[in-house]
Amino acid sequence: MFFIYGTKSSLDDLDKREINKEFDFGILNKEEFGNLSDEEKIVYCYGITKGFENEYTNKTYPDDDPYLLDWIIDLLRKENLYEEFFYSYLLENFEDEYKVLVSKFESGTEEKWDVAWQMWDKVTDEVGLDHYYLWSINKIYNFEKYYLILLKKSDYETGYYEGMYLAREKWRQKNRKRQEGIHNQIIKKNRTIWDDFIRDKKISYPPPISFQKKFPSGLSDDEKESFEMYVELIYWNKELKSKSQREKKFKDFPDINF
């Protein structure tokens, strides 16, 4: 099984709501996929991986779209293989109608593509989208050319999954402590001492304190994070002029009045 990191944006640019818009999901290898029933394969298209009810699965995301299948098909688009994939669905499942309506047009033309889409709309209304989903996911796993694209991408993504996952979880924990007022209280308690330290050591921001490695002695990990935040807040207090910007930056630090 491969693991795909769902959040692609920079963690520094995310808030609590944004970071939950995407999710990690699991990609089964060919052997694992072969153990699924047809019904389970359709569910798998939505990014819910049978048997792995943990952080790699999508158990809470609304099942409006086949998230995982769309992700795989996008890989085919990038390899310029989606058009042949799309036409093969119609040809293999509705051969007579395809030959009458679609095959008379030259490949690569807009006319053929438009007629094929109209046919797809019609037949999926008749047989249901699950018919297309099941055929698609089976085709991807059983046709070597498509499966190798999935395999290569999944193997690459898994290579840096762990580091990205841990970085995001660390960000979430730090963000939670800030929102719950933990860092606000630590700064409030130590502010006088820290002000003296900052002045004596001539500390400024940027660069971040974690880069400068200038901390008062004997700080816990939470206190180090709070100290780093405080130095940044001093900088932003001087730089931010608009009321809305200041409210956004200082909203989690109600006791830090500049």
Whole-angstrom distance, CA of residue 190 vs CA of residue 193: 6
Q: Which candidate, 35, 47, 25, 41, places its Cα nearest to that of 132?
A: 41
Q: According to the model, what pLDDT value does residue 228 have?
A: 93
Whole-angstrom distance, CA of residue 86 vs CA of residue 77: 11
| 240: amino acid identity, one letter | L
> pLDDT of 207-216, one tens digit each?
888 888 899 9
Whole-angstrom distance, CA of residue 213 vs CA of residue 228: 10
User: Are the C-beta atoms of residues 119 and 102 closer than 8 Å to each other?
Assistant: yes
pLDDT band at 20 (very low <50, low <70, confident <90, very high): very low
Task: Out of 53-57, 70-74, 134-138, 168-172, pick the least confident.
Answer: 53-57
Distant-in-sequence, close-in-space partners of 155: CB < 8 Å, separation ≥ 6? 2
Segments in the chain forming alpha helices (H): 30-34, 38-44, 67-78, 82-93, 95-101, 110-127, 129-142, 144-179, 182-201, 209-212, 221-239, 243-250
Q: According to the model, what pLDDT value does residue 61 have?
A: 53
> pLDDT of 58-82, one tens digit each?
555 555 677 889 989 999 999 999 9
Q: According to the model, what pLDDT value does residue 9 have?
A: 45
Whole-angstrom distance, CA of residue 20 vs CA of residue 195: 36
Check pLDDT > 90 for residue 91: yes
Check pLDDT > 50 for residue 27: yes
> pLDDT of 34-66, one tens digit each?
999 999 999 889 876 655 554 555 555 555 677
Q: According to the model, what pLDDT value does residue 230 have?
A: 94
199 vs 66, residue with greater confidence: 199
Query: Is this prediction's pTM over 0.75?
Result: no
Q: According to the model, what pLDDT value does residue 10 have?
A: 41
Q: Angle at CA 149, nearest 5°, toward 144 and 155? A: 115
Tokens in use for 42? 């359709």
Q: According to the model, what pLDDT value does residue 108 have?
A: 82
